[in-house]
């Protein structure tokens, strides 16, 4: 039996259902796809690799560190933004891998140098 394509659901399809078991699952699927596409575009916009160590293997391991003035989180759950709004926010960020991001918050890196202020 065919199952719902939303990866967190997996309920069996019935009747005329071809891909999704409900409108909610269909919406969640497409919102998740849009977020993934926007993140890929954002990573490419910021150079495609960690600004500190050069890591570029897994999209999920790349994050955005805000210098100041955070209007919204780039990957905030529940929100999809226009590309123009996302770019405006990305201009306040540096692209780093998850490990380097943790090291930034542990104050092991000079943030001013990353943003060209030091």
Residue ranges per domain, the chain? 23-114
Q: What is the CATH number of domain 23-114?
A: 3.40.1800
| % pLDDT > 70, the chain | 86
Q: Could you tell me where the DSSP H helices lie in 46-106? A: 83-90, 98-105
pTM across the whole model: 0.79
DSSP 23-46: HHHHHHHHHHHHHHHHHHHHHHHT
Spell 40-54 as b/e; 16+ CB within 10 A means b.
eebbeebeebbbbee
Q: Is 48 left (phi over 0), alpha (psi -120 to 50) or beta?
A: left
Q: Which of the residue ranges 6-15, 19-28, 42-51 would you say has the lowest mean pLDDT?
A: 6-15
pLDDT digits over 82-117, tens only?
788 888 889 889 999 999 999 999 999 887 777 776
């Amino acid at each position: 039996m065919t199952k719902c394509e939303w990866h967190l659901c997996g309920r069996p399809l019935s009747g005329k259902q071809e891909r999704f078991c409900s409108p909610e699952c269909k919406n969640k699927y497409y919102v998740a796809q849009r977020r993934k596409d926007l993140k890929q575009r954002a990573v490419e916009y910021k150079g495609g690799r960690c600004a500190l160590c050069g890591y570029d293997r897994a999209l999920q391991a790349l994050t955005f560190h805000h210098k100041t003035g955070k209007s919204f989180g780039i990957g905030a759950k529940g929100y999809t933004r226009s590309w123009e709004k996302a770019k405006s926010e990305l201009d306040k960020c540096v692209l780093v891998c998850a490990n380097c991001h943790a090291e930034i918050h542990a104050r092991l890196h000079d943030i001013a140098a990353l943003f060209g202020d030091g």
